[in-house]
């Protein structure tokens, strides 16, 4: 395959690489993925678990999360009312480098210093960022004359606020950089393998471990440490994600979808589906069909 499935394809396009998107469904969640764009997540309502490069935060309403380029991240276990606003923008929108060279000879990334900004943590910084994000969202939606100049100015101010007010708790020694690169490489290999073989009902932990050259015990501990979830949890989520896609976009029988997505039986599929979604596959499909018949608003502001 040319591209690993959990590598999110570029959403921003054109000469002004910026996307502002409000989640249109509750609760909001998104499986582990990575992309070249910088991403900012603004939790407007509810709460959810945020995983970034192996670390986990319990995000609550009002929290702002910043995900730098190339970091594996995902959003899980949302509260029923969770709703978020997502900003994605390419590094090329800036004319200046997004790193700061320090005395120890390592460049500190402007957007990779501290992923979570909260009202309780730094009130002044939080309010500044919140105002800038609100302004960016408003300008991007209205697209009035000169909106790109205003947004670009806001993004520069946002970067400057982060650089001046968010300390890097642990400067990046070379050993840590190498370690994080190795972790990212293993995560990519593991998930590429799962995405390529999730439809096999006989897929086992041992198969994934052998494919990436790790023992099954180390792989289990590694995944848990890096993502907070084990191999079988990720496998189930990926299978369910594909099953939801089939249910929403095709008229295949439910039993066919179950087998296409690697479940051993319809009974197992129904049980796992209900455990994770609170409903059965047929009810989920009917709800998606009803939603298509009524205008809905995934607020995808596009260039």
Confidence of residue 237 (pLDDT cuts 50, 70, 90): confident
Q: Determine the longest span between alpha carbons in the chain, in angstroms.
A: 62
- Look up residue 91 and give its two tokens: 């590094």
Q: Of the ranges 54-58, 72-76, 290-294, which one carries the lowest mean pLDDT score?
A: 290-294
**CB 100, CB 163: distance < 8 Å:** yes
45-67, pLDDT tens digit by residue?
999 999 887 788 999 999 999 99
Distance between CA 183 and CA 92 in Å, rounded?
A: 26
- The pLDDT value recorded for residue 278 is 86
Confidence of residue 163 (pLDDT cuts 50, 70, 90): confident
In angstroms, how far is the first alpha carbon of the chain from the final one? 30
With left for phi above 0 and alpha for psi between -120 and 50, is residue 204 left, alpha or beta?
beta
Residue range 30-44: mean pLDDT, rounded: 87
Q: Of the ranges 4-8, 12-16, 93-97, 129-133, which one carries the lowest mean pLDDT score?
A: 4-8
As a three-state string, the secondary structure of 149-175 is HHHHHHHHHHHHHHHHHCCCCCCCCHH
- The pLDDT value recorded for residue 147 is 94
Distance between CA 250 and CA 244 in Å, rounded?
A: 10
SS3 60: strand
Would the pTM of this model clear 0.85, i.e. be above it? Answer: no
Residue range 63-86: mean pLDDT, rounded: 87
Whether the predicted pLDDT of 10 surpasses 70:
no
- The pLDDT value recorded for residue 53 is 77
- The pLDDT value recorded for residue 31 is 79
Whether the predicted pLDDT of 80 surpasses 60:
yes
Beta strands 55-60 and 47-52 are antiparallel
Crossing angle of helices 216-227 and 205-212, rounded to 10°: 90
139-156, pLDDT tens digit by residue?
999 999 999 999 999 999
CA dihedral of residues 261, 266, 270, 272 (deg, nearest 10): -50
- The pLDDT value recorded for residue 26 is 66
Which residues make beta-bridge pairs with 61?
A: none
Domain boundaries, the chain: 18-165, 174-291
CATH 3.40.930.10 assigned to 174-291 = no
CATH 2.60.120.10 assigned to 18-165 = yes
**CB 29, CB 78: distance < 8 Å:** yes
**pLDDT above 90 coverage of the chain, percent:** 39
Phi first, then psi, for residue 138 (nearest 5°) are -65, -45
Distance between CA 21 and CA 150 in Å, rounded?
A: 18
266's CB contacts (< 8 A; 6+ apart) are: 254, 255, 258
């Amino acid at each position: 395959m040319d591209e690993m499935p959990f590598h999110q394809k570029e959403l921003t396009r054109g000469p002004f690489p910026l996307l502002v998107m409000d989640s249109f469904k509750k609760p909001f969640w998104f499986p582990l993925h990575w992309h070249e764009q910088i991403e900012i997540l603004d939790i407007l309502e509810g709460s959810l678990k945020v995983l970034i490069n192996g670390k986990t935060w319990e995000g609550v309403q009002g929290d702002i999360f910043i995900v730098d380029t190339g970091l594996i991240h995902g959003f899980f276990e949302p509260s029923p009312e969770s709703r978020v606003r997502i900003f994605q923008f390419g590094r090329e929108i800036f004319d200046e480098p997004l790193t700061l060279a320090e005395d120890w000879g390592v460049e500190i990334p402007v957007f990779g210093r501290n992923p979570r900004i909260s009202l309780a943590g730094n009130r002044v910084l939080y309010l500044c960022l919140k105002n800038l994000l609100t302004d960016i969202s408003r300008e991007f939606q209205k697209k009035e004359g000169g909106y790109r100049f205003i947004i670009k100015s806001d993004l520069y101010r946002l970067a400057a606020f982060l650089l001046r007010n968010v300390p890097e708790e642990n400067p990046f020694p070379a050993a840590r950089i190498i370690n994080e690169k190795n972790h990212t490489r293993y995560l990519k290999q593991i998930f590429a393998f799962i995405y390529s073989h999730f439809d096999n009902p006989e897929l086992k932990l041992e198969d994934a471990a052998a494919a990436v050259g790790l023992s099954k015990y180390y792989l289990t501990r590694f995944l848990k440490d890096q993502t907070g979830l084990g191999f079988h949890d990720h496998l189930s989520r990926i299978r369910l994600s594909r099953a939801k896609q089939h249910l929403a976009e095709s008229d295949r029988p439910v039993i066919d979808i179950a087998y296409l997505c690697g479940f051993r039986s319809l009974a197992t599929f129904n049980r796992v589906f209900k455990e994770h979604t609170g409903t059965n596959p047929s009810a989920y499909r009917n709800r998606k069909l009803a939603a298509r018949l009524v205008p809905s608003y995934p607020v995808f502001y596009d260039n």
